């Protein structure tokens, strides 16, 4: 629906729309693995490259029981639009293996990862497709992929993946990049409305890598974090929560509830409380037609992928909620992944201050591009972001032409 609206407003012809909708390549592989008890199990894996029009494909690899080809297709196209909004020279990709990491040992996960890498070896590489961590994968997973790829190529190829450990060519600032990007675009939104951080009340859904980092950094920038929402409830304090202390409490107790410096609350009710900035940074589809009309935030900064349904968009727009859409707000991660790829290819690594400075530059420029596009075309921010992304990818396709 969002694609169709953006394509219609841009006046893209049917042929280009077909190209933009269609993945450039899809691979399905079967992965035989010897388990710790000696049994042989065969896992199914996927890698989908949606677009390589603007550069190598880029996207995560996830290990989960519900991984599907349709999901990979959708997420790969999402990555294409994200990279285009940030104007970094990547297309979109996504991969995954159907498995349950919770019941697999580290040795079994390593064997799955290495065999999966070997099966897709001909389709990835620094100039073709650059994977990264995603759901239930991490720096160690990327190290196994990098090593497997390098062993086959007979030389070390650090740029084949991003999200690696620092000692293997990872980038400083990568782990905090998505949350830090949310901070940068939120600050730009405040400037637009003449608001000051110290007068801004924030509720964050999620205390994981994205939400926790965003909350901590926003608090450090002067924002008042009045609420944190997790899967088992919420904690509120109108005078501001100490995010670091709350995270420590969760580590010690296994829950954010029962925090001495806040009040426990229902997670759904907390989501709808008055605030200046709401940061959904956990799950998909948490803002729907059922609750969008009761959102009381002035600014919605989407740290998670797909937190808002299409049906909710019109309601938010009618209520004049200023939306910083996910394909803009959470591009900090892929942007610093791009920096990691650049550093690996150069063989020269930046300090964290330089990484963060360049991230801030790109996030601010991307924010301004989307806001300007929205004003020029008289559309809301999400539609503007999709229009900008489609326009950039379509322009690259047209300039390159169709090889025949």
Triad 73, 77, 82: Cα angle to 5°: 145
Q: Bridge-partner residues for 58, per DSSP?
A: 92, 130
Question: Which DSSP string corresponds to 110-153?
Answer: HHHHHHHHHHTGGG-BTTTEEEEE-TT--HHHHHHHHHHHHHHH
User: Nearest to residue 302, comparing CAs of 324, 273, 272?
Assistant: 324
Residue 87 CB coordination number (10 Å): 16
Residue 159 DSSP class: G
Q: 188 near 181, Cβ under 8 Å?
A: no
Measured CA to CA, the distance from residue 103 to residue 291 in angstroms comes to 36
Instruction: Please return the burial class of 158, using the count of CB atoms within 10 Å of its CB with bins 0-12, 13-18 and 19+.
Output: buried
| Active-site residue list | 94
Residue 264 DSSP symbol: E
CA separation for the pair 337, 134 (Å, rounded): 12
Neighbouring CB atoms inside 10 A of 208's CB total: 13
Measured over the CA atoms of residue 377, residue 381, residue 383 and residue 387, the dihedral's sign is positive
Q: Could you give the CA distance from residue 56 to residue 19 in angstroms, rounded to a whole number? A: 17
User: Which residues, other chains included, contact 359 with Cβ-Cβ below 8 Å and sequence gap of 6+?
Assistant: 173, 177, 180, 181, 184, 332, 335, 336, 339
The Cβ of residue 102 has, within 10 Å, a number of other Cβ atoms equal to 9
CB neighbour list of residue 354: distance below 8 Å, 6 or more residues apart: none
Q: Are 242 and 218 in contact (CB under 8 A)?
A: no
Rounded-to-integer distance, Cα 105 and Cα 126, Å: 29
Two tokens, residue 35: 């388990």
Pairing status of strand 129-133 against strand 201-205: unpaired
């Amino acid at each position: 629906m969002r694609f169709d609206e953006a394509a219609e407003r841009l006046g893209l012809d049917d042929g280009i729309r077909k190209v933009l909708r269609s993945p450039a390549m899809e691979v399905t592989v079967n992965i035989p693995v010897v388990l710790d008890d000696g049994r042989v199990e065969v896992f199914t894996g996927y890698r989908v490259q949606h677009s390589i029009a603007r550069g190598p494909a880029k996207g995560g690899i996830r290990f989960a029981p519900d991984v599907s080809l349709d999901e990979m297709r959708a997420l790969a196209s999402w990555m294409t639009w994200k990279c285009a909004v940030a104007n970094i020279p990547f297309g979109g990709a996504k991969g995954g293996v159907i498995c349950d990491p919770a019941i697999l040992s580290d040795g079994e996960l390593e064997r799955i990862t290495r065999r999966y890498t070997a099966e897709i070896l001909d389709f990835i590489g620094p100039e073709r497709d650059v994977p990264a961590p995603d759901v239930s994968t991490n720096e160690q997973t990327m190290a196994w992929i990098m090593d497997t790829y390098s062993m086959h190529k007979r030389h070390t190829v650090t740029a084949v993946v991003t999200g690696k450990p620092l000692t293997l060519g990872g980038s400083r600032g990568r782990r905090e990049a998505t949350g830090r990007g949310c901070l940068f675009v939120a600050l730009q939104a405040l400037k637009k409305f003449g608001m000051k951080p110290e007068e801004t009340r924030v509720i964050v859904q999620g205390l994981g890598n994205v939400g926790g980092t965003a909350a901590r950094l926003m608090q450090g920038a002067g924002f008042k974090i009045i609420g944190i929402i997790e899967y088992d409830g919420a904690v509120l304090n109108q005078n501001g929560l100490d995010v670091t202390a709350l995270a420590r409490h969760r580590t010690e107790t296994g829950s954010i509830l029962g925090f001495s410096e806040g009040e426990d609350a229902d997670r759904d009710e907390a989501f709808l409380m008055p605030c200046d900035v709401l940061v959904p940074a956990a799950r998909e589809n948490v803002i729907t037609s059922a609750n969008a009309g009761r959102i009381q935030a002035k600014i919605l900064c989407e740290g998670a992928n797909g937190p808002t349904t299409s049906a909710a968009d019109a309601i938010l727009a009618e209520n004049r909620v200023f939306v910083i859409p996910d394909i803009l707000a959470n591009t900090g991660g892929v942007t610093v992944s791009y920096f990691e790829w650049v550093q690996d290819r150069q063989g020269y690594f930046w300090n964290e201050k330089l990484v963060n400075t360049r991230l801030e530059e790109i996030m601010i420029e991307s924010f301004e591009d989307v806001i300007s596009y929205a004003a020029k075309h008289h559309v809301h921010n999400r539609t503007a972001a999709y229009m900008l992304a489609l326009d950039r990818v379509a322009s690259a396709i047209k300039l390159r032409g169709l090889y025949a």
